[in-house]
Amino acid sequence: MNQSSPTFRLRVTRGGPGRGSRVEEYVIPWVEGMSLLEALFWIRENLDPSLAVRFSCRSANACKECSAHVDGTPAYLCVTRAQPGSTVRIEPLPRRRWLRDVAVVLNAEARS
Amino acid sequence: MAASFQHIETDVLVVGSGAAGMMAARAARDHGARVLIVDKSLLGRGGATVLAQMTVAVALGDAEPDDPTIHAADTVEGSRGMADPAIVAAIAERAPEVILEVERYGVHWARSHDGKHSQVVAPGHSRRRCVYVDVLNTGGALSAGLRKTIWRDPGIRHMSNVAITGIVVQDGVAVGAVGFRLQDLGPVSLGAAAVILATGGLTEIYARSSASANMTGDGYVLAVEAGARLRDMEMVQFFPIANLYPPLVGLDPIMWDPFRYKLGGRLLNGRHEEFMDSYAGEHAGQYITPRDTAAYAIFSEVRAGRGSPHGGAFLDFRMLAEDRLREAFGPVIDILARSGVDLTRDTVEVAPMAHFMLGGVEVDESMMTTVPGLWAVGELIAGMHGANRLSGNAITEALVSGRIAGEGAAHGGSGHPSAAAFDGPRRDEWERLQRFWHPREVAHDEVSIAALRKRLKRLMWEKAGPFRTEEQLAEALTELGQLEHSVTEAAMAREDSFPLSLLDKVDMRHMVLVSRAVLSSALLRRESRGAHVRLDYPGSEAPVSIIGCSTRGDGQWDVSMSSPLAEDVRR
């Protein structure tokens, strides 16, 4: 990767029940306006397609599928912007049944 | 893998849970049927409805005298000669009833000072006809209201994260569906007296797309493989002024449109000159240009070297006072400020974006496909919009077609075979999926299907987007063949908990098949009409021909044109 192009780091919880939990760190080329969800897409396209995350509307904060813990606070990945030079921790939402990586069981009706 | 299987029986099975699917479920239940509604994403959250920020066209006659027959005539007029008048009439006729119905589910249509529904005009509609929910919340409110009304009903079962991969057809009649559960991977079979497909469109095949990522064209493939026909697959609507630059998060990319309507925002080319008047006779402060013409005008400026820096047009609100902007944009002003946009000072860049699939599954005015027992609703159907959709007609189509199909399916089903009859189809489909996912045993996915998907989206955008030529369409077909080969050959790792890569491969197969249908149909239509612009055939032919798609049963899709320009190509 070109030294001069800006990057940032994501530290993402990987694994699932019965297979343990670990934190993987990824260095991601930053693009203007990039969201954390787009950063996870970049990982799935370029480094590891097995990364599990829920998403649907992608950038409109409408479907509420891409919720996760970002630096310890609940957030929607599609509306949280990546900052060049930063390191961001992404974890599955706590107190939900953990499926794998960032994906949990989302009980949609409970929030209707 | 000894995955646990699941079989469920119901009267009416609904696949997909946007406005069309949820309304179909509600209507079937209202008419006494037991209903099962499934979605590959979360119920009522994926798809396009939840993103719809704009308006719904309905001849209520609250703002000025109106009638469903006038709504239908405007819609047919806007379709560039390609809508099916019987379908348009059926949908316009019941729109007032259905719009009032969803009010009971908590959808609060905006009211004017006199207490009547607030109805606004939109391009192509000859009356003030379009209702909406403030602020930019039409789709969100509809999704929430419909979700609540089906959730509370014990006669409606619902399952999220169930992907349907085949319709079960016995003796020519649809009797259920097969697929898999995503959360804990395993085969599923669903027996039903009637099946309603409500899977939405296919705009995910385009790099610039305004709809949800799960709109991968599933229903077109399910319908064709069950024996139904598609038509107008070359007709993809491109929304003219979707956001291009700066990148925004937390906003629907097409959200500029209602503000342009309310405030008379100006469209400027790269030289900061107004240009819409030379394409559509539209002058500053007006908003009368239909979507097909507006998209054509913007990209024509770009092609002539008069585009904005990122390849679109400037949208300008600078002539308006700050308090007027704040009043109209409300909380959106603050979201824009966080992206560094100050509309009193800055223009933004806008450009067309794939927005809506106009073509689709051939149905009659009862929304039944050519396969008995199989209905189709919402964006998935053809016939309502022809070659150009009027603003506001998508949710109308979703709600009314859903209600018509739900009622028909509740009464029109003929019972389904016993559970044992599904053992074979479920096992066969599961074995097919195993071979499809795992042609070889591998520890890690051999390729990233997500990366191939990105390639396909760029290919379709560049070669089958708003402007088309024979040469580019043919090139795209060749490249699509190579992509399909890469997808078919890819061996995926085994994974049984939320195996997103396996769903990716299923989605990608659908995207390849529907992309080929779009390309083959676009090649065959050697004219420009509405959303389909052929630079090598700029004029429109008369009379209008129809291009259809079906399968011969060997997996190959036939694409052929009806007379007068009878021609048949097999690809």
Give residue-wise pLDDT tens across range B339-389.
889 999 999 999 999 999 999 999 999 999 999 999 999 999 999 999 999
B interface with A, Cβ–Cβ < 8 A, is 41-47, 50-51, 139-140, 144, 147-148, 151, 160, 183, 212-214, 246-253, 339, 444-445, 447-451, 454, 493, 495, 497-501, 504
Residue B452, min C-alpha distance to chain A (Å): 8
Query: Has residue B419 got a pLDDT over 70?
Result: yes
Minimal Cβ distance to B42: which of A52, A80, A106: A106
**How does pLDDT run across B307-346, given as a tens digit for each residue?**
999 999 999 999 999 999 998 888 888 888 888 899 999 9
- What average pLDDT score do residues B20-46 get? 95
Residue B361, min C-alpha distance to chain A (Å): 24
Mean pLDDT rounded to a whole number for chain B: 92
ipTM over 0.90: yes
- The tokens for A37 are 């969800």
* A53 contacts on B by Cβ (under 8 Å): 500
Side-by-side strand order, sheet with B236-245: B236-245, B348-357, B313-316, B266-268
Angle made by CA atoms A83, A88, A91, in degrees to the nearest 5: 140
Query: Has residue B205 got a pLDDT over 70?
Result: yes
Q: What is the C-alpha to C-alpha distance for residues B194 and B175, in angstroms, rounded to an integer?
A: 6
**How does pLDDT run across A54-111, given as a tens digit for each residue?**
999 887 778 889 999 999 999 999 999 999 999 999 999 999 999 999 999 987 543 3
Contact (CB<8Å) B51/A60: yes
Q: Give the pLDDT score at B282.
A: 64
Task: Work out whether the CA dihedral B284, B285, B288, B292 comes out positive or negative.
Answer: positive
Q: Between these two residues, B284 and B47, which has the higher pLDDT value?
A: B47
Contact (CB<8Å) B498/A79: no
Q: Give the pLDDT score at A3.
A: 56
Report yes or no: A62 at the B interface, CB cutoff 8 Å.
yes
Q: If pLDDT is split at 50, 70 and 90, which confidence band does B283 have? A: low
- What average pLDDT score do residues B208-231 get? 95
Residue B51, min C-alpha distance to chain A (Å): 6
Q: Give the pLDDT score at B329.
A: 85
Query: Has residue B564 got a pLDDT over 70?
Result: no
Contact (CB<8Å) B183/A112: no
Residue B154, min C-alpha distance to chain A (Å): 14
Q: If pLDDT is split at 50, 70 and 90, which confidence band does B291 have? A: confident
Is A49 in contact with B445 (CB distance < 8 Å)? yes
C-alpha closest to that of A37 among A5, A60, A14, A21: A60
First-residue to last-residue Cα distance in chain B: 36
Query: Has residue B567 got a pLDDT over 60?
Result: no
Contacts of B509 (CB under 8 A, 6+ apart): B221, B436, B487
Q: Between these two residues, B563 and B456, which has the higher pLDDT value?
A: B456
Q: What SS3 class is residue B157?
A: strand
Compute the half-sphere exposure of residue B359: CA atoms within 13 Å on the CB side of its CA: 25
Query: How many CB pairs lie under 8 A apart between chains A and B?
Result: 122
Minimal Cβ distance to B250: which of A44, A79, A105: A79
Q: Give the pLDDT score at A111.
A: 35
Is B195 in contact with B164 (CB distance < 8 Å)? no
**How does pLDDT run across A16-60, given as a tens digit for each residue?**
999 999 999 999 999 998 999 999 999 999 999 999 999 998 877
Q: What is the C-alpha to C-alpha distance for residues B27 and B491, in angstroms, rounded to an integer?
A: 42
Mutate to test the interface with B, among A57, A97, A107 (most CBs of B within 10 A): A57
Tokens 């899977």, located at residue:
B199
Q: Give the pLDDT score at B285.
A: 57
Q: If pLDDT is split at 50, 70 and 90, which confidence band does B254 have? A: confident
